[in-house]
Amino acid sequence: MNAFLAIIRRDLILAARNGGTTVTLLAFFLSIGVIMPIAIGPDKPLLASLAPAIIWIAALLSTLLGLDRLFLDDHEDGSLQAYSHANASLATLALAKLIAHWLITALPLILATPVLAVMLFMEFPAFLATIIALFLGTPALVALGALGASVAVTLKRGGVIAPILILPLSVPVLIFGISATNSLAGPNASHSALLFLGAFSLLTIAFTPFAIALALRSAGE
Amino acid sequence: MNNTQTIPTHPRKPNWFSRLANPGVFMGWSRHWIRPLALLTIVTFAIGLWYALFNSPADYQMGETVRIMYVHVPNAWLSQMVYGIMAVAAVGSLVWRHPLADVAMKSAAPLGAAFTALALFTGSLWGRPTWGTFWEWDGRMTSTLVLFLMYIGLVALWNTFADHARGARIIAIFTLVGAINIPIIKFSVDWWNTLHQPSIVTARGLTMPASIATPLLVMMLAFTLLFFTLHFIAMRTEILRRRANTLERQHVLATAAANKQQAASDD
């Protein structure tokens, strides 16, 4: 458990002292929110109805952008080697990396969502539903993305291939995430999509650390 | 001889499973299988096409376009079967480090992508006259499209690895994650678009008259045989490619060593 907390702490400190990743991701996330109305046109009702979709796409793309170096830095400076000799299993450490990464990349995006909500003229119920759905859905996005990052660790052109692998797998997150937003904010609110979203996130978090550990171990061989 | 029984001096004869894993043994027996398989495929296709094109009735609603089904359904079936074969091979590759499983997995991916693309293509050709549109965001079509994207991702991933053994393990992990995810994706996509038109294939599949079921089954068998023929050829090609790579590497190393020796003797 010590190693688990130590890795989370280390990653948070690294992120705080470098600072670059979080700020870049936030800038990217907000830029998508700015670009979309320019492409669609300043039509208030249209933007309001598209807002959940725009926010989810922005979150998905920002998550993919941030995952590029998740394991690459650790691979290059030899930390991955050290992890494989730690007294905790590699899967546990992969879970720690996931949690740290969610705190560094996904949480700031969720906290920045109000800005996009204002720019896209979202109603308050829809905004609230989007926030809840993002809280439940982003862990799955980060976990799937981390799997892509672990697969791509040894590849020179890994940054290009990981999104191609990950996007088809994140279809359920998008579907349940956006329907959760729409059904929660709609006239007859229903929780089923939200529950499915949570279930998918839990399932993904439960399984991916093992797959990530396997991939990292083969990468270290 | 009696006292050496506890310590065998030569390795035990490998069991059938290990023999199956040996690419050399595979090259030996698969050579005799390709021609009969290809011949069987051609004969089955001839029978199936004859049934499908000449000896089956036109549908009372869809008319002659129903014959597209005899090409479309087998491709759709293969698009899923090939992923199943890849997933089984992935288990073989991860658990037993079965070298032939790597080869089977690698050579199945482009075939699966091709059959899935054909299923989508024939489906859209069939959709135009019957549904009035080339594409519909229907649950079944969308999940097939996602499956196609996964095949493309796997093919792209294979192309980025220079080292076969390491690549195979990582790709096997990804194939299995995909296999777990495919039912979830399918479920989510069906749930997303519940308004899709009742699926023609399953609706017909339950109440299908023999005059249509026979050519369909023969064509499915023909396409499955076609896949196995192509898969065998692709596996053999892959093994030969790896051998050629090894020979090339050995040759380069030998030349380098010889040059070094030459340079040393010249001094």
> What's the pLDDT tens digit per position in A88-133?
888 888 999 999 999 988 999 999 999 988 888 888 888 888 999 9
DSSP state of B228: H
Please check whether residue A171 is in contact with residue B185, taking contact to mean a CB–CB distance below 8 angstroms: yes
- Residues of A in Cβ contact (< 8 Å) with B178: 168-169
- Residues of A in Cβ contact (< 8 Å) with B166: 154, 218-219, 221
Residue B68 lies in a domain: yes
Residue closest to B56 by CA, chosen among B45, B66, B71: B66
CA distance A110 to A126: 14
Residue B223 has pLDDT above 90, yes or no: yes
Confidence of residue A1 (pLDDT cuts 50, 70, 90): low
What is the domain range of residue B244?
A: 34-196+210-261
Segment B124-163, tens digit of pLDDT: 888 888 777 788 777 778 888 999 999 999 998 888 877 7
Is B59 in a helix, a strand, or coil?
A: strand
Confidence of residue B232 (pLDDT cuts 50, 70, 90): very high
Nearest CA in chain A to B188: A172
Among the ranges A148-152, B178-182, B205-209, B235-239, which has the highest mean pLDDT value?
B235-239
Residue B198: predicted pLDDT: 47
Please check whether residue A213 is in contact with residue A174, taking contact to mean a CB–CB distance below 8 angstroms: no
Nearest CA in chain B to A180: B192
Of A156, A165, A211, which has the smallest distance from its Cβ to B153's Cβ?
A165
Give CA A107 to chain center in angstroms. Answer: 9
Residue closest to B191 by CA, chosen among A109, A194, A179: A179
Residue B114: predicted pLDDT: 95
Segment B61-73, tens digit of pLDDT: 667 777 888 888 8
Over range B174-203, report the average pLDDT: 71
- Residues of A in Cβ contact (< 8 Å) with B160: 155-158, 161
Confidence of residue A199 (pLDDT cuts 50, 70, 90): very high
Is A30 exposed, middle or buried (CB count within 10 Å of its CB: 0-12, 13-18, 19+)? middle
Q: What tokens appear for A131 in the block?
A: 């926030």
Q: Please tell me the distance in Å from A193's CA to the nearest CA on chain B.
A: 9
Interchain CB distance below 8 Å, B174 and A214: no
Residue B205 lies in a domain: no
Task: State the ipTM, two decimals.
Answer: 0.83
Residue A181: predicted pLDDT: 83
Interchain CB distance below 8 Å, B153 and A211: no
Residue B27 lies in a domain: no
Those residues whose C-beta lies under 8 Å from the C-beta of residue A160, and which sit 6 or more positions away, are: none
Is B63 in a helix, a strand, or coil?
A: strand
Of A175, A200, A215, which has the smallest distance from its Cβ to B189's Cβ?
A175
Domain count, chain B: 1
DSSP character string of chain A: -HHHHHHHHHHHHHHHHH-HHHHHHHHHHHHHHHHHHHHH-S-HHHHHHHHHHHHHHHHHHHHHHHGGGTTHHHHHTTHHHHHHTSSS-HHHHHHHHHHHHIIIIIHHHHHHHHHHHHHTT--HHHHHHHHHHHHHHHHHHHHHHHHHHHHTTT-TTHHHHHHHHHHHHTHHHHHHHHHHHHHHHSSS---HHHHHHHHHHHHHHHHHHHHHHHHHHHHH-
CA distance B179 to B91: 11
Residue A111: predicted pLDDT: 92
Residue closest to B100 by CA, chosen among B31, B30, B21: B21
Interchain CB distance below 8 Å, A175 and B191: yes
Of A167, A172, A211, which has the smallest distance from its Cβ to B177's Cβ?
A211
- Residues of B in Cβ contact (< 8 Å) with A156: 160
Which H/E stretch holds residue B119?
helix B99-131
Segment B65-99, tens digit of pLDDT: 778 888 888 998 899 899 999 999 999 888 888 88
Average model confidence (pLDDT) across chain B:
82
Interchain CB distance below 8 Å, A175 and B188: yes
Residue B6: predicted pLDDT: 54
- Residues of A in Cβ contact (< 8 Å) with B161: 155
Mutate to test the interface with A, among B142, B146, B157 (most CBs of A within 10 A): B157
- Residues of B in Cβ contact (< 8 Å) with A203: 184
Residue B190 has pLDDT above 50, yes or no: yes
Given CB atoms, is B152 within the 8 Å cutoff of chain A? yes
| Phi, psi (rounded to 5 degrees) for A41 | 110, 150
Sign of torsion over alpha carbons A216, A98, A74, A157? positive
Which position has the token pair 């004869």?
Answer: B13
Confidence of residue B200 (pLDDT cuts 50, 70, 90): very low
Q: What tokens appear for A167 in the block?
A: 């996007």
Size of interface A-B (CB pairs under 8 A): 81
Residue B104 has pLDDT above 80, yes or no: yes
Confidence of residue B267 (pLDDT cuts 50, 70, 90): low
Interchain CB distance below 8 Å, A196 and B156: no
Interchain CB distance below 8 Å, B153 and A154: no
Residue B142: predicted pLDDT: 84
- Residues of B in Cβ contact (< 8 Å) with A154: 166, 170
Given CB atoms, is B179 within the 8 Å cutoff of chain A? no
Interchain CB distance below 8 Å, A169 and B152: no
Locate the domains of chain A by residue range: 2-220
Q: Please tell me the distance in Å from B104's CA to the nearest CA on chain A.
A: 20
Over range A161-178, report the average pLDDT: 88
Sign of torsion over alpha carbons B150, B154, B160, B161? positive
Q: Please tell me the distance in Å from B197's CA to the nearest CA on chain A.
A: 20
Of A176, A203, A211, which has the smallest distance from its Cβ to B173's Cβ?
A211
Minimum mean pLDDT range among A48-57, A88-97, B206-215, B236-245: B206-215
Residue B28 lies in a domain: no
